[in-house]
């Protein structure tokens, strides 16, 4: 069994070095491992570091930042292995993780992808599995009810609790931070939708799998360390990140559920932000709702448009 490990990176040189070192060590546990690094026009020395320190990795240097999904597509275009591991540059494979993921897929012919147990650098639990987002779950999360009732009304929650992470179970979708997939399945769904710059790639890929009667699994024996949000924080992309999180959400809702779902999500988002701003004003406090609403409004408007000019932060 051979596997191509695709890593999309943007200005994460030190994180990428640790990631590739873990991949190098994983190569000693499994034969036929190849690293493919897609660099999204980094200017922090990342591509030079890869070329100098990891000469066996295939490096694809892009002239502009085209985003996460499109970047993975560039890696998939040169992948030849039966299996592909999509791995964030701020993630690290632990000992035995890759063999466990590969064994999981090999034993389950109807399973097209499997995700590991993600942990924070200190070892704390990190949600690895999600239910498919929809307008109701979107409202439950943004309104704060999910945080207020973390162990109740679980069917309404997008992210699954630690107790729900049962190894070997079939789930709606696993985190895009790291998952092993059959390459022929990714090819069958047209790879990643390039109208998604970042976020919701998992929804877009795994929802068709569910509708085809295929499975996505969770393997708790495979552990991957993930510095969630490290790339966003390191590049100071918080507003940029929020815009694309909203744009991708509205785009995916309309694509997979219909225009009504995108509009319901937008109006509920707007109602929640307006209410939050009003409550804060009555209490004599400031609230970033107005600034966020402007971002949400732009995201909804641009979710109808193709990504023509690629963002180049």
How do 3-9 and 83-87 pair as beta strands? parallel
pLDDT grade for 248, boundaries at 50, 70 and 90: very high
Q: Residues 271-293: pLDDT tens digits?
A: 988 887 777 777 777 667 777 88
pTM: predicted TM-score of the whole model, two decimal places: 0.90
Would you say residue 262 has pLDDT above 50?
yes
Would you say residue 161 has pLDDT above 80?
yes
**Average pLDDT, integer, range 110-120:** 97
Which residue, chain included where needed, has tokens 């069994």? 1
**Average pLDDT, integer, range 184-208:** 94
Q: How far apart are CA 60 and CA 287, in angstroms?
A: 43
Among candidates 81, 262, 77, 88, which has minimal Cα distance to 174?
Answer: 88
Q: How far apart are CA 38 and CA 35, in angstroms?
A: 10
Q: Residues 72-93: pLDDT tens digits?
A: 999 999 999 999 999 999 999 9
């Amino acid at each position: 069994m051979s596997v191509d490990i695709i890593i999309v990176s943007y200005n994460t040189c030190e994180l990428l070095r640790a990631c590739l070192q873990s991949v190098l060590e994983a190569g000693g546990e499994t034969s036929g491992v190849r690293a493919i690094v897609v660099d999204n026009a980094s200017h922090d020395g990342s591509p030079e570091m890869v070329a100098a320190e990891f000469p066996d990795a295939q490096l694809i240097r892009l002239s502009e930042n085209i985003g996460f999904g499109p970047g993975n597509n560039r890696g998939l275009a040169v992948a030849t292995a039966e299996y592909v591991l999509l791995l964030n540059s701020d993630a690290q494979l632990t000992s035995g993780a890759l063999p466990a993921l590969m064994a999981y897929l090999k034993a389950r012919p109807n399973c097209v992808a499997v995700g590991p147990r993600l942990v924070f650098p200190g070892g704390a639990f990190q949600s690895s599995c999600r239910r498919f987002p929809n307008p109701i779950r979107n409202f439950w999360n943004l309104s704060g009810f999910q945080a207020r009732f973390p162990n109740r009304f679980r069917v309404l929650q997008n992210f699954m609790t630690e107790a729900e992470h049962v190894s070997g179970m079939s789930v709606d979708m696993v985190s895009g931070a790291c998952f092993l997939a059959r390459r022929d399945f990714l090819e069958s769904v047209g790879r990643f939708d390039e109208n998604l710059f970042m976020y919701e790639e998992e929804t877009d890929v795994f929802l068709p799998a569910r509708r085809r009667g295929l499975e996505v699994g969770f393997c708790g024996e495979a552990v991957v360390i993930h510095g969630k949000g490290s790339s966003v924080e390191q590049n100071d992309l918080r507003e940029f990140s929020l815009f694309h999180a909203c744009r991708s959400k509205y785009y995916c809702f309309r694509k997979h559920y219909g225009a009504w779902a995108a509009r319901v999500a937008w109006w509920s988002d707007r109602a929640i932000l307006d209410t939050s701003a009003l409550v804060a004003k009555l209490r004599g406090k400031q609230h970033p709702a107005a600034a966020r609403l402007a971002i949400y409004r732009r995201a909804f408007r641009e979710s109808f448009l193709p990504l023509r000019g690629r963002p180049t932060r």
